[in-house]
Amino acid sequence: MMKNNINYTFSQNKQNDSWDKMEMSRLPYHVAIIMDGNGRWAQERGLPRARGHRAGMESLRSAVELCLEIGIKILTVYAFSTENWKRPQEEISILMGLLYEYIQKELDELHKEQVKVRTLGRISELPAPAVYEIKRAQELTSKNKKLILNIALNYGGRTEIVDAARRIAQLAVQGKILPEEIDEELFQKHLYTGDLPDPDLLIRPAGELRISNYLLWQIAYTEFYSTSTYWPDFRKEEFIKALLSYQGRQRRFGGLK
């Protein structure tokens, strides 16, 4: 899928060794990723931060490819947070431009590979060209079933919870629900991911050990994997390391095994 002129994959032997260690029956159904470290990756190489963000696009392509190859059903990536508006305007413009470029370049191939593109966040507040491309991608891929690609844009976990609370409050005002009917199940249905299962695995590149306001409700029992590898260097080999780490754990969800 999504061919390019640069070879970012690891050697065939190493790939085979990694695949041999994986239990294909124990793969996570839903993987979430915080795509972090683009700017630091570029700065350590004496490059503009924009080069790091562009290299990060290649890692996203690689992640989508691997999910398609091994059968992971949902990939949710943190692309732009509500807090990212605090960054310099030049960098924000670059990020929005790369989003526009990514959808334009990859949409046909994503559609061909049966990837459904969805977004999480307050999308209407993004620049008009980006909103147009997002809506076009969602409409074109709406019936695809092989992989759901959720792109979190203008997203914040607290904002998501506030938006869900507002929707529920409106239903209560309209008399459609009673306060005593509000429980965790109902609340979850009004989140951006209301029709999806929670992530099984959350991957955080770049050595950071914080959640950064990402999927706060959904990751209550998600397995967490942190690596010092910057996102632009997070290719299939690194992804498989995260999957192997996941498979070595016992998920107890607060109970006993």
- Which candidate in 17, 20, 38, 84 is catalytic? 84
Site of tokens 């431009």: 97
Burial of 26 (0-12, 13-18, 19+ CB in 10 A): exposed
Residue type, 124: S
Give CA–CA dist 241/15, Å, rounded: 11
Site of tokens 């046909």: 108
- Which candidate in 36, 198, 200, 233 is catalytic? 36
Site of tokens 């459609």: 176
From residue 257, give the alpha-carbon distance in Å to each of 82, 162, 246, 253: 38, 35, 16, 9
Give CA–CA dist 54/39, Å, rounded: 10
Active site residue 36: yes
Here the tokens at position 26 are 């124990």
Give CA–CA dist 203/195, Å, rounded: 22
Name beta bridge partners: 34: 78
Give CA–CA dist 141/118, Å, rounded: 9
| CA nearest neighbour of 96 among 62, 134, 64, 65 | 134
* Active centre residues (catalytic): 36, 84
